Amino acid sequence: MTDARLSPVLDKIDADLPDALDRLMTLLRIQSISTDPAYKESCDSAADWLVSDLESIGFDASKRPTPGHPMVVGHGGEGDGPHVTFYGHYDVQPVDPVDLWNTPPFEPVLEDTAEHGQVIRGRGASDDKGQLMTFVEACRAWKAVHGSLPTKISFFFEGEEESGSPSLIPFMEENAEELKSDLVLICDTGMVAPGVPSIASQLRGMLKDEFTITGPRIDLHSGHYGGPGLNPLREIARIIASFHDDTGRVAVDGFYEGVHEVSAEQKAQWEGCGFDEKAYLEGVGYTQPHGEAGYTTLEQQWARPTLEVNGLWGGYMGAGTKTVIPSKAHCKITCRLVGDMDPDKLREKIRKHVEDRLSPDATVTWDQDLDGSPAAVMNTSRPEFEAARKALTDEWDREAVFVGMGGSIPIAGFFKEILGMDAMLIGFANEDDQIHSPNEKYNVESFHKGIRSWARVLAELSD
């Protein structure tokens, strides 16, 4: 029965691709950078646009206020299949350094490339506007062809994913009854290799922190005070250097508590998943992996925790020279967590590590106090995973694989924790999409086959 229902939907998707791309372009033009308060209105506009678009398909959609950027919730469809909720985020990363963009980040373009055919270029093209629209477009096509949806479908979009989702947990708690369904579908991940459909079986968790080290009370002259002066830039460098040992292992006491070694079976699966280590490394200018000695590149990326510095600054950063010993030095860090690592405990361990290493007269302040998210392992024994595996294999003509993910999608954990729901993460991004970087893109193939993939998944789920 599936084929008869599905084929005209796939045809409709093919025919409507130009319109679907136009809609995505419209959404990409909205400068919904969630981390910067200057873009608050743009975030609001993106939410409005999504409400209106869902309504145009027939969903009962609404913008829901939060203390931060609004949520978008929509409901529609019915049927005997599982009630699924599709989650995505309409906010995007900041665009700096903006001078490295070849086209303005919020003026998306279709670009012909030798390697990928046509791509959509612009901030959010892949993360996550392009990805979230694959599911929306699949629903639109299904509804257009059949006049109804194949199963009960809800939407849940947030606008704070790139800033740590501060409103998400309270919103879930306050709207638990409305938000509960059988399974959450998330399209915010990538394919392990070009053309290899991938279902995430584990995600790393995340912990963010930021600190400032103060040395002297005021900026000092490096002649008058160079020598006796405590330099917070040297102080922060020394402390950052102490985060890792010579083998790349994190040297924070107790850091690896809750980390489990990868099983031999898991290793074997990953070895056959199509991951192109050479392309992954060489694509960014590496000749070798630089993580913990003794682990493969994929293990370093999917199964090992990290402590990274994402920003570091202090002193004079302009042209020429200023002979200053600055008063303050700043650092932003994130950790990726695996297994049963506890973000709250880990934060304390890291803070203690820093505080224990301060020189006399140096002080540290902690400038963020954000919730962390633990790692997530998916319940791949659920029948929906087998259904999705089949749907993806059909669409991409290549066996779909279960893969780990180096990134963090805390939302998966929150759905489980607060709403008791399992999550299934399927995404069509490519490693070279340059998400979070200048010149972000999304392959039109990802967009097009992504929409078709979701149509097939809906068909399988409702079969």
At closest approach, how far in Å is the CB of 134 from its own copies?
20
Q: Which of residues 6-25 bind its own copies (CB under 8 A)?
A: none
Q: Which is nearer to its own copies, 302 or 396 (CB)?
A: 302
Among 236, 424, 457, 459, the residue binding its own copies under the rule CB under 8 A is 236
Half-sphere exposure of 17 (CA within 13 A, CB side): 17
The 8-class DSSP code of residue 363 comes to E
Q: Which is nearer to its own copies, 76 or 232 (CB)?
A: 232
214, 327 contact by CB (below 8 A) = yes
At closest approach, how far in Å is the CB of 385 from its own copies?
22
Half-sphere exposure of 35 (CA within 13 A, CB side): 10
At closest approach, how far in Å is the CB of 17 from its own copies?
27
Q: Which stretch binds its own copies (CB under 8 A): 105-113, 134-142, 348-356, 430-438?
A: 430-438
375 binds its own copies (CB under 8 A): no
At closest approach, how far in Å is the CB of 34 from its own copies?
8
86, 153 contact by CB (below 8 A) = yes
| Residue 451 DSSP SS3 | helix
Q: Which of residues 143-172 bind its own copies (CB under 8 A)?
A: 163-164
Spatial distance between the Cα atoms of 377 and 317, rounded to a whole number of angstroms? 43
Kindly state the number of chain residues that form the binding site for its own copies, as judged by CB under 8 A. 97
Mask of contacts with its own copies, 436-455, x by CB under 8 A? xxx-----------------
Task: Provide the token pair at 223.
Answer: 């002649």
Mask of contacts with its own copies, 175-214, x by CB under 8 A? ---------------x-------------x-x-x-x----
Residue with tokens 């990290």: 306
Query: Nearest-CA neighbor of 88 among 174, 169, 8, 165?
Result: 165
At closest approach, how far in Å is the CB of 65 from its own copies?
20
Q: Which is nearer to its own copies, 169 or 370 (CB)?
A: 370
At closest approach, how far in Å is the CB of 155 from its own copies?
24
Q: Strands 183-186, 422-427: parallel, antiparallel or unpaired by DSSP?
A: parallel
Q: Which of residues 401-420 bind its own copies (CB under 8 A)?
A: 405-408
Task: Provide the token pair at 121.
Answer: 């270029």
Among 65, 170, 226, 294, the residue binding its own copies under the rule CB under 8 A is 226
Handedness of CA 281, 283, 287, 291 (dihedral sign): negative
Q: Which of residues 118-147 bind its own copies (CB under 8 A)?
A: none
Q: How many CB atoms lie within 10 A of CB 265?
A: 8
Mask of contacts with its own copies, 38-77, x by CB under 8 A? ----------------------------------------
Q: Which of residues 280-339 bind its own copies (CB under 8 A)?
A: 280-281, 284-292, 295, 297, 300-301, 304, 306, 308-326, 329-330, 332, 334, 336
222 binds its own copies (CB under 8 A): yes
Q: Which is nearer to its own copies, 239 or 391 (CB)?
A: 239
At closest approach, how far in Å is the CB of 153 from its own copies?
28
Q: Is 314 left (phi over 0), alpha (psi -120 to 50) or beta?
A: left
Q: Which of residues 249-278 bind its own copies (CB under 8 A)?
A: none
Half-sphere exposure of 269 (CA within 13 A, CB side): 18
Query: Nearest-CA neighbor of 176 among 421, 377, 382, 422?
Result: 421
At closest approach, how far in Å is the CB of 224 from its own copies?
5
163, 370 contact by CB (below 8 A) = no
How large is the C-alpha radius of gyration of the chain? 23
Backbone angles phi, psi at 60, to 5 degrees: -85, 95
